[in-house]
Structures are given as C-alpha cells and as structure tokens.
Copies of this chain bind each other. A is one copy, B any other.
Amino acid sequence: MNAFSVTNQSPSKALDDWENAVIDLFLNAANSFGLPKSYGQIYGLLFCRDQPLAMDEIMELLKISKGSASQGLRALRQLGAVSSVFAPGDRRERYIAECRLRKLVGGFLREQADPHLEKGTARLNQIEKLVNNLQDEGSRKRGVRRHEILSGWHRQMSRLLPWVKMIVGKSDRLPQKNSE
C-alpha cells in the first residue's frame, strides 16, 4: 500500500484529522468569547492529548511562534484552563488542559465577567453624580430614571452569575458509560 502513513506511529509529529477538527472548534470558540484564536488552538491541542505537552512541542504541532505559545499558555493558566506539571527528569514545564466545564466557566467568569461588574459599579456611581448635578428638572428626572434602569440591570447581572456557575456545575463530566 503506502510506505508512510497508515497508522501515524510518530505521536508528537503531526496532528490527526480529528485533532485538527477539535482545535479548529476551540479556535472558533475562543473567537466568540473574545479571546485570541491562538489561545483556542493551544487549549484545543492540550484537550486532545492524554500526555502533557511542552511548549516547544505545542509550537511545532500548531506552527505558532514562541511568543504566542508563551503568552497563550500564561493566559490559559491564569484562566484556570491549563495547568502545568513537571515530568520527572525533564527540566521543561509541561501542560495539560482542564477538562471540567465547571472550572472553565468559573475561571472565565472570574477573570472576565467579575471585573466588568466591578467597573460597572464605578461607572454607575459616576453617572449618578452627573445626573444629580443637572439643573433642569425634566432632564434630571430623565437621567435619574435611566440610572435606575441601569442599576437594575447591574443587579440582575450580579445575581445571574452565581446561577450560571451552579447550573453548569450540575453534572460535570458525563456520567461515564451512558447512551444518549
């Protein structure tokens, strides 16, 4: 048949088709969440693998630069989406993906949503102050009304986040062998 290929015996040299498909899925997901696509690629690759990978392996498999790999891994660790391990007798750090959705969502909310809510509080206070300074009765009333609406939204969003963490955490990894 074919001298090469067949079963892909070299584990760290090239990606399987399904791995490329998964990586591409995470690339798109990262984009939708406002993260650089390289973050998605790195996470996707690690997600596919059982064994932890070192940075230079990631660079080679994904064909991305040292800088991207370094920055991507740092951000993913910060989000709790990736953690590092040390193989005994090897100096390099190696990385694995966090596969529990609850942890991923939790990290994302902690790093992205929570800061926005905090900034929101500050902005609302500023708006309230500006509104209260208005001289014209009608304008002030309109401004007060708008500030009230925004405060209500802010409160609702703050309420929502804990629920999201709960609901996603419910049944994490699939209950092992389970047919649809």
Number of copies: 2
Contact with B along A127-164 (1 / 0, CB 8 A): 10011011110010011001011111100100110011
Which A2-23 residues have C-beta < 8 A from chain B?
Answer: 6-8, 16-18, 21-22
Closest to A33 in B: B34
Residues of B within 8 A of A127 (CB): 18, 21-22, 25
Q: Flag the segment in A52-60, A61-69, A81-89, A166-174 that touches B.
A: A166-174
A28 to B120, CA, bound (A): 10
How many chain A residues touch B (Cβ–Cβ < 8 Å)? 56
Residues of B within 8 A of A133 (CB): 1
Instruction: Report whether A156 and B170 are in contact in the complex, using a CB–CB cutoff of 8 Å.
Output: yes
A150-B22 contact in complex given A156-B101, A164-B164, C-beta closer than 8 Å: yes
| Given A16-B139, A99-B149, A152-B174: 15 more A-B contacts, CB < 8 Å | A1-B133, A7-B135, A7-B136, A18-B134, A21-B126, A22-B127, A25-B123, A25-B127, A28-B119, A32-B112, A48-B142, A148-B176, A152-B171, A160-B164, A163-B167
